[in-house]
Every structure is written in structure tokens, then in C-alpha cells.
Amino acid sequence: MPGTQLNTSSPEKIRLLLADDHPVVRAGIRSYLANNEHMEIVGEAGDGNEAISKVRELHPDVVFMDTYMPHMNGLEAAKLLNQQVPGIKVIMHCVHNSHECVLQMIRSGARGYVMKTAQPEELAAAIERVNKGDTYYNSEVARIALDEHTRNSRKRGRRATPDLSERELEVLAGIAEGKSNREIGDELGIGVRTIETHRERIMQKLQIHNVAGLIKFAIASGVASVE
């Protein structure tokens, strides 16, 4: 029975669904992660429709999904998954870092973005970070998104960030730059739990209820900075 199969996995392992229309790409990722004791590939999909179906059937922790696939692309599938499966964590991957692709990925609600040219170690790091509730955007991706929104909003001026303290603005900037809670805490000299508390308060004040939404707000308002 399906329920019995779900219980055979170690609770410590990250349940991963691969969605890519190229079997060779899936095989390569599967081969690399096969020896990772912290992860388990529970299913694969060849397009967005199948990915959504497999998520409902297999209940993965993280979906690693290609941006462009037939029938329904990964961007649209990610949007629907975030609407229909609260708490699902999606990482997108693509062959290029174009402005359009990066911005569409952020709007889709994906919590991470990895280039197909990335090293295998980066893939594993992205999965682990996103599974913990953090985001994963490398500095190049963050810079593209920030530069685009800065150009578009420069004439309008900086949007207001209602009721956010200076510390909350610092935490929000760190989140938008793809830093983990621990990295933000180390930079600011405060603990991980305090960072989590700040993040919850920011969400309450802005009425934004997911990390992807915080990133979009931070970039659009000019709070984020990438060195």
C-alpha cells in the first residue's frame, strides 16, 4: 500500500522528486545523489503536469524541477504547487541566467535556483538548505534580479517598508540575498532562533506568508543588496 511505502524511508532523509524532460539529466542527478545518505529520490517526472501528480502521490520534501518542459513548464507547475500544496519546497534549474528567466523563477514561488552548469556539490547544498526552510540563490542570480528591479523602481523611489525596524530590514536583506539563517545570524551577531523570530515578525507586518514573497518584496523595494 502507498502509506506503507512512505514509512520505509528514514525520517532523516530528504525525500526528493526530480522533474526534467531529459532522461539523461535525471539519470545524472540520480547517479550523483545515489550515494548521499541524507537524500532519497522518491520519484521522477518528465513534465509539469506529471510533477504535480507525483507530488500529490509521493509527498516529497523538495521538488527539483527544470524551468522549461513540455505540456506544462516548470515555472507554471511551481506556481500551481505553491497554491495547491502549502509548504512544498521547489528548486528550479535552467541552462541560462537571463533576466527574464530569473525574474519568472522568483515570481513562481521557487525557494531556490541552480544553474544546470553548477557543480554537483552545489546541487546537494541547495537541496539541504531549501529543505531546512532557507532559500538558495547564488550571488549572480540575486544580482540579476536586484539590478532589474532597481532599474525599474529608480524613477519611483524606494517603496515604504511599514513598521520594519533596522534589525528587521537587515534580516530581510539577508533572506533576499539567499543567506541561511545561520549565515545571517553570524553576520549580525545574533542566534538562529532570533533570526527565525525576526522573519516571522516581518511576515506578519508585511502580510507575506512565504520566503519567496519576502524575496520579491525585498528586491522590489530596494532593501536587498548584493556585494
Of 4-13, 16-25, 154-163, which has the strongest mean pLDDT?
A: 16-25
Of 97-111, 126-140, 210-224, which has the strongest mean pLDDT?
A: 126-140
Phi then psi dihedrals of residue 16, to 5 deg = -120, 135
Contact (Cβ atoms closer than 8 angstroms) between residue 92 and residue 18: no
> CATH 3.40.50.2300: does it fit domain 2-137?
yes
Residues 137-171: pLDDT tens digits? 766 666 665 555 555 544 444 454 556 788 888 88
Q: What pLDDT is recorded for position 15?
A: 95
Alpha-helix residue ranges (DSSP H) falling in 34-109: 48-58, 74-84, 99-107
**Model-level pTM greater than 0.75?**
no
Domains of the chain, residue spans: 2-137, 143-221
Angle between helices 211-221 and 166-176 (to 10 degrees): 110
Beta strands in 51-196 (DSSP E): 62-66, 89-94, 112-115, 136-137
In this prediction, residues 19-23 reach a mean pLDDT of 93
Q: Percent of the chain beyond pLDDT 90?
A: 35
Report the DSSP beta bridge partners of residue 18: 44, 64
Residue 39: strand, helix, or coil: strand
Computed over every residue of the chain, the mean pLDDT equals: 80
Q: What pLDDT is recorded for position 140?
A: 63
What is the C-alpha separation between 115 and 8, in angstroms, rounded? Answer: 32
Residues 81-113: pLDDT tens digits? 988 998 899 999 887 666 677 777 877 888 888
3-state class percentages of the chain: helix first, strand second, coil last, to nearest 5: 50, 15, 35
In sign, the C-alpha dihedral spanning 61, 99, 219, 181 is positive
| pLDDT interval class at 16 (50, 70, 90) | very high
Q: Percent of the chain beyond pLDDT 70?
A: 77
| pLDDT interval class at 224 (50, 70, 90) | low
Q: In what order do the strands lie in the sheet with 14-19?
A: 39-45, 14-19, 62-66, 89-94, 112-115, 136-137
Q: What pLDDT is recorded for position 165?
A: 83
What is the C-alpha separation between 151 and 182, in angstroms, rounded? Answer: 31
Query: Is the confidence at residue 72, as pLDDT, over 80?
Result: yes
Higher-pLDDT residue of 225, 73: 73
Cell 530590514 -> residue = 169
**Closest alpha carbon to 151 in 224, 215, 102, 222:** 222
Domain 143-221 in the same topology as domain 2-137: yes
Residue 36 CA, chain-centre distance (Å), reads 20
Residue 102: strand, helix, or coil: helix
The number of beta carbons lying within 10 Å of the beta carbon of residue 226 is 18
The CATH number of the structural domain formed by 143-221 is 3.40.50.2300
| pLDDT interval class at 118 (50, 70, 90) | confident
Q: What pLDDT is recorded for position 97?
A: 64
Residues 36-70: pLDDT tens digits? 889 999 999 999 999 999 999 999 999 999 998 98
